[in-house]
Amino acid sequence: MDRIITAKLLTRENFAEFGDVIDKGGDNHYPINGGKTERYHDLAKVDAAGPNARVLVSIGAGTPYKFPLKLSMVERHPFGSQAFIPLSPRPFLVVVCHDGEDGPETPHAFLTQPGQGVNYPRNLWHGVLTPIGKKQDFLIVDRGGDGSNLEEFHFSHPYEIHLPEAR
Ligand SMILES: NC(=O)N[C@@H](O)C(=O)O
Ligand code: NI
C-alpha cells in the first residue's frame, strides 16, 4: 500500500467529516458591542466527559517538525474534544483518521490556511500538534479531569507526509 501522503489545503467542506474549522469563513456571525465587534459564533463543539471533567484552556508552544514527516503514531482522547487555534497566522499540519475495525484507517493530511484552527471531536484519531517551519504558539481547548484521556495507536509501518508543492 502506498504510504506516501501529500497534504491538501484544509477547507470547511473537506474537513467537515472529521471536525470543526475555527476561522471567520463560516456564516454564523453577527455584530455585537454596538457593531464594534463581529462575533463568529459557536465554531466548535467542545466536549468534556468522564469523572470530574472540566474544560481546559492552555497554550502550546510548538516546535516545528521536519518534512517529509514520518508519521508512526496517531492518538485520540476518549473523554473530550481538542481544539488547536494558532496565535500567529502560519499554516500548520493536521492529520486525522477515521476509526476502522482494527484501529485508525488511512490518514488524511491537511495544510491549514494561515490563522485557521481546528477542533477534533472526542475519539477522533489525530496526529500530534505539528507546526511547520518555525516555532508557533497555539491556544488549546480540551478536557481535564480524572481517568486516562489519551489512547495512542502505533502504525506497523510509518506514513510519509509531504506538504503540497505550491505554497
Ligand atoms: N496533549 C496535548 O496537549 N496535545 C496532544 O493531545 C496533541 O494532539 O497534540
Ligand atoms: Ni491530541
139 vs 57: CA distance, rounded Å: 7
Whether 129 is in the pocket of ligand 1, judged by its Cβ within 6 Å, is: yes
For ligand 2, a single-atom ion, the residues with CB < 5 A are: 82
Atom of ligand 1 nearest to the CA of 120: 8
Which listed ligand is nearest to 123 at the C-alpha? 2
**How confident is the model at residue 22, as a pLDDT?**
98
Which of 73, 96, 71 minimizes the C-alpha distance to 18?
96
Q: Measuring from atom 8 of ligand 1, which residue has the nearest CA?
A: 128
Atom of ligand 1 nearest to the CA of 129: 9
Q: How far is CA 113 from the centre of its chain?
A: 13
**Structural domain spans, the chain:** 4-162
79 vs 142: CA distance, rounded Å: 9
Q: What's the complex ipTM? A: 0.94
DSSP string, 107-150: -EEEEPPTT-EEEEPTT-EEPPPEEBSS-EEEEEEEEESSS---
From 2.40.30.10, 2.40.440.10, 2.40.50.100, 2.60.120.480, which CATH number describes the 4-162 domain?
2.60.120.480
Give the pLDDT band of residue 1 (cuts 50, 70, 90): low
pLDDT in tens, 134-156: 999 999 999 999 999 999 999 99
Q: Measuring from atom 6 of ligand 1, which residue has the nearest CA?
A: 128
Whether 163 is in the pocket of ligand 1, judged by its Cβ within 6 Å, is: no
Cβ atoms of residues 149 and 80 within 8 Å: yes
Buried b (16+ CB within 10 A) or exposed e, 43-73: bbebbbebeebeeeeeebebeebeeebebee
pLDDT in tens, 48-87: 999 999 999 999 999 999 999 999 999 999 999 999 999 9
pLDDT in tens, 80-137: 999 999 999 999 999 999 999 999 999 999 999 999 999 999 999 999 999 999 999 9
pTM of the model: 0.96
C-alpha cell at position 107: 490518514
Q: How far is CA 61 from the centre of its chain?
A: 15
Q: How far is the CA of 88 from the centre of ligand 1 (A)?
A: 18
Atom of ligand 1 nearest to the CA of 77: 6
Whether 128 is in the pocket of ligand 1, judged by its Cβ within 6 Å, is: yes
**How confident is the model at residue 166, as a pLDDT?**
66
The residue behind cell 463568529 is 40
**How confident is the model at residue 167, as a pLDDT?**
60
Q: Does an H or E element contain 59, and which? A: strand 54-62
**How confident is the model at residue 165, as a pLDDT?**
86
